[in-house]
Amino acid sequence: MKDILGYDLIRKFEEFAPTYLAEEGDPVGLAIGTLNKPIKKVLVTLDVRPEVVQEAISKKVDLIFAHHPPIFRPAKNLITDDPQINMYANLLKNNISVYAAHTNLDVATNGMNAWLAKAIGITDTEIMTVTKKEKYKKLVVFVPLANEDSMIKALTQAGAGEVGPNYKDCTYVVEGTGSFTPVNQAHPHIGQIDQIEKVQEARIEVMFPERLTSEVEKALFFTHPYEEPVYDIYTIENYLDEYGLGRVGNLEAPISVEEFAIKIKSVFGVTGLRYITNDPSQMIQRVAICGGDAGKFYPDAVKKGAEVYITGDVYYHVGHDMLASGLTVIDPGHHIESICKTELVGLFTTWSKELNWDLDVSSSTLNTDPYRFI
């Protein structure tokens, strides 16, 4: 088994849900402590509350991985009479680091909202509210045949060659003849000064997100054997990666609003929920869902043809607007995002097995939902 640093786990996670996907001002990332330390025990939680910190201390955890950031607003002082400040002090005293993945996990292709959609049984899903669009580039580079494999490996390790969430290492290679004449003070890898040289070369084509341009070029120059590598970079006009909040999809069969609300209560294990509808007996099939406080995005659910919208923390006046639009809304609360605990533990455990990490990952056993129903 391989010992790892906090950086190793987070580097892998940020390939899955990069921090640049987060909404502006969202305090994602390392919040407390350091990642430059060995980690053996990780505790996954929805919220970082004093009772969760005590759980982490009792389990001798090195890193708490949370969905909700522990510090939403800057602290005005460090007086430990305040329970929140005292919680931070306990984390530091026990050398427990805290990392948060919030809206970047919400919009990740296979992240929070995909998990929620799967839990309620909707299929053929699409993004409800697009928040990020990422352009792609294509690199074309020419290398001697002997360097084809090493170049492809370097480019794909730099992040090139991924097409959508389900394909990686995608390249296209054509063989041909390249020619050149080294002159003046050249130091050619192949050939002689002032003599034309013909070389069997591979033309390698690979696409990559625009944000990785610098990394891909660095990999190319580091690996290419030629003194002056020949390559082109094009902008791809017909391909974008889209990321966003919520998912919209279809149930396998129609169901009444009231029956569906009861099902949602059971699926997420909540003791109570609210729903807004003009007709509890209405049969519905097309559903939108967005974790957290997402009532303000209901017009996007309507535009996508949703008959029902599931989200938390719906405000009174927004509820009236939803009714007026003809939309049925089910509000099972913010805490349904605790689905992330099971999903993240599974994800981290899978990576640990694949990479032979010596890592113990567990889920917080505490229910941090502040609401109770009578």
CATH architecture of 133-241: 2-Layer Sandwich (3.30)
Distance, CA of 333 to CA of 321 (rounded, Å): 19
- Assigned superfamily of 4-104+338-363: NIF3 (NGG1p interacting factor 3)-like (3.40.1390.30)
pLDDT band at 336 (very low <50, low <70, confident <90, very high): very high
Beta-bridge partners for 141: 204, 231
Stretch 303-310: mean pLDDT, rounded? Answer: 98
Q: Give the 3-state secondary structure of residue 342.
A: helix
Residue 350 pLDDT greater than 90, yes or no: yes
Calculate what percentage of the chain has a pLDDT beyond 70. Answer: 100
Q: State the DSSP string of 116-174.
A: HHHHHT-EEEEEEEEEEEEEEEEEEEEEEGGGHHHHHHHHHHTTTT-BTTTB-S--EEE
The residue count for the chain: 374
Q: What pLDDT sits at residue 163?
A: 86
Q: Which two tokens stand for residue 20?
A: 């640049």
Q: What pLDDT sits at residue 68?
A: 98
User: Angle, nearest 10°, between helix axes 112-120 and 339-355?
Assistant: 110
Contact yes or no for 273/300 (Cβ under 8 A) = no
129-168: per-residue pLDDT in tens? Answer: 999 998 999 999 999 999 999 999 999 999 999 887 788 8
242-282: per-residue pLDDT in tens? Answer: 999 999 999 999 999 999 999 999 999 999 999 999 999 99
Distance, CA of 122 to CA of 309 (rounded, Å): 12
Q: What pLDDT sits at residue 49?
A: 97
pLDDT band at 74 (very low <50, low <70, confident <90, very high): confident
E strands along the chain, which residues?
A: 4-5, 29-32, 38-39, 41-45, 63-66, 97-100, 123-144, 172-180, 197-209, 231-256, 274-276, 283-293, 308-312, 328-331, 360-363
Contact yes or no for 200/144 (Cβ under 8 A) = yes
Residue 346 pLDDT greater than 90, yes or no: yes
Q: Do domains 4-104+338-363 and 107-131+244-335 have the same CATH topology?
A: yes
Domain 107-131+244-335 has CATH 3.40.1390.30: yes
Residue 240 pLDDT greater than 90, yes or no: no
Break the chain into its structural domains and give their ranges. 4-104+338-363, 107-131+244-335, 133-241
Stretch 2-25: mean pLDDT, rounded? Answer: 95
The β-bridge relationship of strands 38-39 and 328-331 is unpaired
Q: Give the 3-state secondary structure of residue 186.
A: coil
Distance, CA of 63 to CA of 5 (rounded, Å): 10
Q: What pLDDT sits at residue 98?
A: 98
Stretch 30-40: mean pLDDT, rounded? Answer: 97
Q: What pLDDT sits at residue 45?
A: 98
Cβ neighbours of residue 14 under 8 Å, at least 6 residues apart? none
- Closest to 103 measured CA to CA, from 263, 297, 281: 297
